[in-house]
A and B are shown apart, each in its own frame.
Chain A
Amino acid sequence: MTSDGVADERRGGVRVIAPVRPRKLAKVPFVELSEGRLQGVVSSGSDVSRVYVSSITAGDHGLSCNTNNNRPCGGLSGSHACNHIRALVDAAVAQYGLERVARYLKAEGGDDLWAALHPTTAPSRAAEVFSSFLRHLSYLEVPPTTDPLPELHWFPAAGVVR
């Protein structure tokens, strides 16, 4: 959240989502804070057509990591995070900033997110997360439009001043 104050509650154009920060996408092409999870997709180091689908639940910090064919990740054991989940968290912090990620996960407590996380195991969410990723990618295939879209006056582009 980028703003505060009573005046902002009465402003139509107030910015609610801080624009995401640019980051490299090759290793972790997709990260989102959604449906009570930090979730995303991590490219496999060895197979270009394989990805790992990883998530951490907000509050309980339940970890899950599977391939896109729904095979469990060999690196994830119990509450010990695999490299994919670590890469996911690093990408999320790069994209959203530590504060927003920590607040969403309810893991607030200083500069070290891992110190504030108390991971457990969680059921696989691979199917939901992977379909969310495919939906994300499908935006690149939505045709452009020349419709006047008047509601975009409520959504100014990411500003030079933040």
Chain B
Amino acid sequence: MLADVLRSSPAGLDEALALVDGIDTALVHGLTRLDDDRAAALESVAAAFTGTPLADRVTDSIGKIVAGTVTDEHLVVLAGARVALLGAAHDALLGGVDTALGRSREPWSAPVAGRAGLTGAGSRSWLRELAIAGWRGVDHELAAGAAQAIQALLDVPAARRLAVLLDGFAAELRTAAPVATRSWIPVRRWADLWTRALILAQDDYPVPGTEPVDGRLLILGVDLHEHPTVFRAQAHGLLETAAGVRLVRTSVAAAKVDTISGPSAWRMLTAFQVFRSAVAEHRSVEVTGMLLTPAGDLIWDESRAVVSEPADPFTTARVLLGTATAPSALPLDRHPSVIAEPVLLEGYTAGEESLDLGGVTVAVDMERVPEAGPLTPALVAASTACLGLLRWDGGWSVQPLAVQATVKRKAVAVHTGDWALGPTEAKAAKAEAAAGTAVDVLRERAGRLLRK
């Protein structure tokens, strides 16, 4: 039963997170300012790796860091230890969900196909300075120190992932600087972002291969992501192929600026008309030769996608979700925060902040319900069925992607992606039209000033 999983905590989870806390606390104060407690916490991380393939390297690197030698080589091992701890937490949490849902998951077996081959030296040097200074030591100058490295990465398609991450991370540090005067520090979050960036900035970061697939994509729902310079729509769906039904994701993202937000951010995705139509109109998509990674990411390609018949996501979930095979995350990507498991919940008692599933109450993560769509807390509270993503961030929650509800005695279904082609409600459409001029103004300014 899902309720049992949501209520319980996997064995060893708290201990693993306590070790992660030790690394994270060291990063708050800076690795060259380790007092006895913080040094002891790092040494217990090293001790936890005894008997694992990483034991020697972790012990050596943490020993060197505690002794005051903070080099790139030692930092990447520290980051690797943190990835391993949170990867194990991810596996334990997701394993419980799979058992409860009866979800079968393809074990990871894909060989590494290539290397990213980017030049991450500039990024690594900034990340080293951050680790040495600690979050408390981040001032305006250090916060802005990655600007050149990010600009260089943005020009390289293969480095986009690192560029997008560093840009979002740096924007937070710039906003928070000088960090020493802040009332609280996002300790876990910044350590997560720092670790991911440092691992991605390795020149030989492994990249998995892809295989072309043919089939019918049935979209379950859309998750929207954003930071000041990116907007991304990620669809979760089921891919029906000759080999069976697979749970997949597919993603379209555009660069933007902070003043473009809310429903008008969809305007930045005009290059993806097939994607937007399929999402807004709830239609299935015929894909031909589209590339699929072993992690279940369908690399969206407009030229290999054709919008097809209407397909209600709730029907898709009721009929097919239970039979679909889920993918495994890339080994280095495993982390509780990337768990976003599509689920269909029904027969609950709804509130604005939680759903009572009978025996357990699961929190509704309304912070993850986007302004760029029509879903609201009131609709969730009035709902009888919810298509959502099960997430874990210190505890389980459900992020609604769509609800079926009764509003003024009429049955309605509302999805986060309903406004992919523009708001369908008059008041929101008017606000979007006004906000949308921001894009036009900036394009005009760019046209006049950029190439002079």
Contacts and interface: CB of A to CB of B under 8 A. Distances in A.
Given A9-B186, A11-B393, A159 B337 contact: no
B183 A157 contact: no
Given A11-B393, A12-B393, A150-B338, A158 B370 contact: yes
Nearest to B329: A150
B341 interface: no
A145 B253 contact: yes
A68 B450 CA distance: 12
Contacts of A58: 140
Interface residues of B, number: 100
B204 interface: no
9 contacts: A13-B393, A17-B228, A49-B448, A137-B257, A137-B450, A139-B229, A153-B337, A157-B226, A161-B369
A6 B21 CA distance: 13
A137 B446 contact: yes
B371 A158 contact: yes
Nearest to B299: A146
Contacts of A10: 21, 187-188, 394
A23 interface: yes
A147 interface: yes
B387 interface: no
Interface in B188-212: 188-189, 192-193, 196
Contacts of A16: 172, 175-176, 186, 189
A23 B431 CA distance: 11
Contacts, number: 241
Contact of A144 (B188, B254, B333, B375): B254
Contacts of B408: none
Interface of A: 1, 3-17, 19-20, 22-26, 29, 33-36, 43, 48-49, 51, 58, 68, 95, 133-161
A146 B252 contact: yes
Q: By DSSP majority rule, is chain A's interface helix, strand, loop, or mixed? A: loop
B154 interface: yes
Contacts of A49: 448-449
B207 to A, nearest CB: 11
Interface in B295-343: 295, 297, 299-301, 329-330, 333, 335-338, 340
